[in-house]
């Protein structure tokens, strides 16, 4: 991204239909493939995380997605000694992966940033499943927004490309860091959050983009819908209305 880019949308070269990332948080690669086939051309970008990594066939699934023209977000939240993270990030290169996540201190983020190649590294700021009470339990004395901004600044200094952050903190990130930070926002809820949901800091689709997000990650509202494809198409319609029809 450069200073010549307009403020909104933040990635004008990215088609609107690629800004929705669907989380394949299912129990097996076969279930993931079935969901992708059900969604068809309504979704072009998928997040493949820890659950599928532990289920087996992780990279085979990624290869399958890439072969079908899908973009892939490898959400493994690397958090280990820097040399281990460096090697792990190196292992993602050359596979057609667009995004990968890292979650750690400055040295860990720097190791990921130094080895990223064509993969864009996103640093986790504060998980959207955490709220103020959770941060108190973890020993953080600052407020959520200040912690997110601090971690985002450090991530950019470390050579990361962007951050994973709630839509609630996106306006401050965009105001403070401008267009150089890529903001990917999970915790998207098209309807009112349910009490059994594990996400606490949520926004809806339109609010996420209005607040400055470049991409949104949606899982349960699509995966658990009576008609997942219709749910994805409804979200894509909202995205086009907010960002334009490209």
Give the H or E element holding residue 21. Answer: strand 20-23
Q: Rounded to an integer, what distance in angstroms lies between the CA atom of residue 145 and that of residue 151?
A: 10
Residue 205 in contact with residue 235, Cβ under 8 Å? Answer: yes
Catalytic status, residue 77: yes
Q: Closest by alpha carbon to 225, among 182, 191, 199, 185?
A: 191
Of the residues 47, 77, 116, 200, only one is catalytic, namely 77
Q: What are residue 233's phi and psi, to 5 degrees? A: -65, -35
* Partners of 140 in the β-ladder: none
Tell me the three state secondary structure of residue 14.
coil
Residue 14 in contact with residue 2, Cβ under 8 Å? Answer: no
Residue 32 in contact with residue 24, Cβ under 8 Å? Answer: yes
Catalytic annotation, residues: 77
């Amino acid at each position: 991204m450069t200073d010549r880019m307009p403020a909104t949308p933040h990635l004008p070269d990215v088609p609107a239909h690629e800004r929705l990332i669907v989380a394949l948080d299912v129990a097996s690669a076969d279930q993931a493939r079935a969901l992708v086939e059900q969604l068809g051309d309504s979704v072009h970008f998928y997040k493949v995380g820890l659950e599928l990594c532990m289920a087996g066939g992780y990279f085979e699934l990624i290869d399958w997605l890439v072969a079908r023209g899908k973009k892939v977000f490898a959400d493994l939240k690397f958090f280990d000694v820097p040399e281990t993270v460096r090697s792990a990030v190196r292992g993602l290169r050359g596979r057609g992966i667009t995004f990968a996540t890292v979650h750690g201190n400055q040295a860990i983020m720097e190791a990921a940033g130094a080895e990223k190649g064509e993969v864009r590294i996103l640093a986790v700021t504060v998980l959207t499943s955490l709220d103020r009470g959770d941060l108190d339990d973890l020993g953080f004395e600052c407020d959520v927004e200040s912690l997110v901004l601090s971690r985002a600044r450090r991530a950019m200094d470390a050579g990361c490309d962007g951050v994973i952050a709630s839509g609630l903190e996106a306006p401050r990130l965009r105001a403070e860091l401008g267009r150089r930070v890529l903001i990917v926002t999970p915790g998207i809820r098209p309807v009112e959050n349910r009490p059994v949901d594990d996400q606490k800091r949520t926004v809806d689709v339109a609010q996420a983009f209005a607040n400055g997000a470049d991409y949104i990650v949606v899982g349960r509202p699509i995966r658990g819908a009576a008609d997942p494809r219709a749910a994805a198409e409804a979200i894509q319609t909202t995205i086009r209305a907010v960002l334009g029809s490209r």
